[in-house]
Structure 1
Amino acid sequence: MTANISSPDMRAVLRTACLRAGIPAVREPLRLGSSAVFRLPGGMVARIHRPERMAAARRVVVGARWLRASGIDAVQPVSGIEQPVRSHDRGVTFWHELPPFRPGAPAQVAAALARLHELPRPTEPELGLVEPFGPLELRIRHAHFLSETDRNWLVDHVAWLRDRWTALPAGRPWTVIHGNATPNSVIVTRDGRVVVRNLDHLTVGPPEWDLVPTALELMSLGWTTASQYTEFTRAYGCDVLRWPGYYLLRDIRELNLTTHATHAARTHSAYRGQALHRVACLRGDEGPRPWPGWRRLPSSSLVASMVIHRV
């Protein structure tokens, strides 16, 4: 269950973490999603991670520092603090706040991914291997607004994709990948910096995993134009649509996007129609791709709205 950032428990978590880190605990809630984020004095933000995400929070911090040391401009944790800071049963990480930014253009996203994929695979830090199925089954089991028939079909679909994953066609050598390479994950700041962010899924895996989202937005969803996709492939240097493994990664990504919507719909009934539509598309009830009617969901606040008051 997602935490409430305005609850006394969350305030206590932040207060204790700030005291341990030596940071003033004047805070402004920014958003609530998979983790609570607060603005702090001095151009910092604090992120409160769920209890089961302690190890993942540590990997994000280490991964961000490794990217910067490797020459990749990425969001950066505050130095001089051993992170994450444990507070109650949660981990809290402290980051330098980004200046105003916009999503990267296709060529900028592709160029940043190409640089990332060219880095030598590290022995340290240990980033782990890509987990393409993550919480899919859990999200499906908890989507009680779906019919039992739909839930059973989705569970069977996960099993079918798992079997196919064991025979993933050979492609480019596995390396460090972003893991969730959407336009909002490579951003351009007001001063012109191209910065990689949203590093929760930074891991080792097939580089094609980072290319599929843009191809899927063209071929399955119609969110990207042909000219934008051409810009992306030229900047990266190859076209994932020409790789036999594209269809498997596409199917996994489409399922991830669908369970993303079912997860949001658990607490926001306004998303239920979108979730049901996505399930129908996967089942083949809505005709061939590209499928009309898929709407982008808020990536940072799936289960709550922006909070602008101070506490």
Structure 2
Amino acid sequence: MMPIESQRTPLERRDLQEACRAVGLDPREARHLRTHSNEIWLLPRAAVVVRLSMNHHDVSAVTRMVRLVRWLWEQDLPVAELWHESPGPLVLSNGRIATYWRSLTVPEAPDYRAFGSLMRRLHQVSPPPDQVNLAELDPVAAAAEILDEEWPNCGLDRRFVADRLAEIGARLRSAPLSISRGLLHGDAHVGNLLVDRGRLVLGDWDSACVGTPAWDLIPTALEPQRWARPRAPYQAFVEGYGQDVTTWPYYRELRELVEWRRITERIRIAGHVPRAGRNLCRHLHTMYAGDLHTPWYGPEAEAATRGPQDFSTR
């Protein structure tokens, strides 16, 4: 099971109570599972998971995500299932958005070969119907969102990022990325894998879009470097998928865009997930140095962090 943090204040539970009351669920035995871009609660008796957005998300975007998940489920594709009585996205009184999902288990040990096969199957799916209305991925624009965020106080100038993204954008304008265009999960990694009746499925479809499959594959390809994990799991993933994204044209440019995007996401949530702010300066310094191998996570990265780091910006 996911790690459980059961002690939450009454104020923090207020939104959960509102979300449950609206659909006839009992929140009294709710257990907090985790908080990242969403706050996740398990209702054990009902076998329902409630996801609460951390920000006032665009309800139309969440509605598109729900429509996509329902469409994928109807195609018998490997996707987490919405709670059968779910009314769709519910906007709470403070603007947060609740969605409701059937409770699933987390795999004890991720099967990377099966994960690769799952991603191959997903990438073979034709883009969903027009009513789902998924966004088109622009990798450079996705990475460039970091320029609009509060900047970590790491002694580095954000103009470097703008210059790097301009360089990469110029290279990619002539790249044949549209040739391999398809449905993307948008945030595919082993942390989003779940097990449903013995079958591996993907949860967390908030970032789904249409674009180059490389965007989904690169996070797993980075695990041996940034997570200091053995290479064997990635090799199993490659065998399952049938291709190695690290050999694709423009891999290095797309990898850098993925990494800037990941840093952006950590900056965004650092205010309410303190651990997300740890090692941010390490991440940025490696990017500024063009260092593709220094771990961002794991024992080596933690050892290099002297004491707790508070997220601060300037």
TM range (shorter): 0.7 to 0.9
CA distance in 1 between counterparts of 2:108 and 2:297 reads 20
Q: Which residue of 2 aligns with 1:173?
A: 180
Give the structure 2 partner of residue 25 of structure 1. 27
- Alignment partner of 1:157 out of 159, 164, 176: 164
User: Secondary structure of 1:94's match?
Assistant: strand
Report the residue type matching 2:70 in the other structure.
R
Partner residue of 1:13 out of 12, 15, 19: 15
Structure 1: give runs of 5+ residues left out of the alignment. 298-311
CA distance in 1, matches of 2:152, 2:297: 22
Is 2:49 aligned against 1:45?
yes
Q: Structure 2 CA distance, aligned partners of 1:66 and 1:214?
A: 26
Number of residues of Structure 1 aligned to a counterpart in Structure 2: 288
The aligned residue for residue 125 of structure 1 is 132
Q: Does 1:80 align with 2:80?
A: no
Contact 1:107/1:235 (8 A) holds in 2: yes
Question: Do 1:140 and 1:262's aligned partners in 2 also have CA atoms closer than 8 Å?
Answer: no
Aligned position for 2:310: none
* CA–CA separation in structure 2 for the residues paired with 1:170 and 1:35: 31
Corresponding residue number in structure 2 for 1:184: 191
CA distance in structure 2 between the aligned counterparts of 1:69 and 1:168, rounded to whole angstroms: 34
Tell me how large the CA RMSD over aligned residues is: 3.1
1:143 equivalent in alignment to 2:151: yes
Q: SS state of the match for residue 45, structure 1?
A: strand
Contact 1:140 1:154 (8 Å CA) reproduced: no
Alpha-carbon distance in structure 2 between the residues aligned to 1:228 and 1:153: 34
TM-score where L is the length of structure 1: 0.79
CA shift digits 1:274-303 (9 cap, x unpaired): 222221211127xx5322x42159xxxxxx
Could you list the per-position Cα deviations for residues 61-116 of structure 1 after superposition, in whole angstroms to 9, with x for gaps in the alignment?
A: 22222221112232111123321012212221111111243353221111000111
CA contact (8 A) 1:180 1:210 kept: yes
| Code of the aligned partner of 1:18 | C
Is residue 245 from structure 1 mapped to residue 247 from structure 2 by the alignment? no
% identical equivalent positions: 24
- Structure scoring higher RCO (CA < 8 A, sep ≥ 6) equals 1
User: In the alignment, residue 21 of structure 2 is paired with which amino acid?
Assistant: L
Normalising by structure 2, report the TM-score. Answer: 0.78
- SS of the residue aligned with 1:150? coil
Output the amino acid matched with 1:185. Answer: N
TM-fit CA distance, 1:163: 3.9
Distance 1:271 1:227, change over 3 A: closer
Structure 1 pair 102–52 and aligned structure 2 pair: CA distance change class (3 A): same
Cα distance in 2 between the residues matched to 1:55 and 1:101: 31
- Corresponding residue SS for 2:108: strand
Displacement of 1:140 after TM fit? 6.2
CA distance in structure 2 between the aligned counterparts of 1:268 and 1:145, rounded to whole angstroms: 18
Partner of 1:111 in structure 2?
117
* Separation of aligned partners in 2, 1:85 and 1:103: 34
2:200 aligns with one of 194, 213, 223: 194
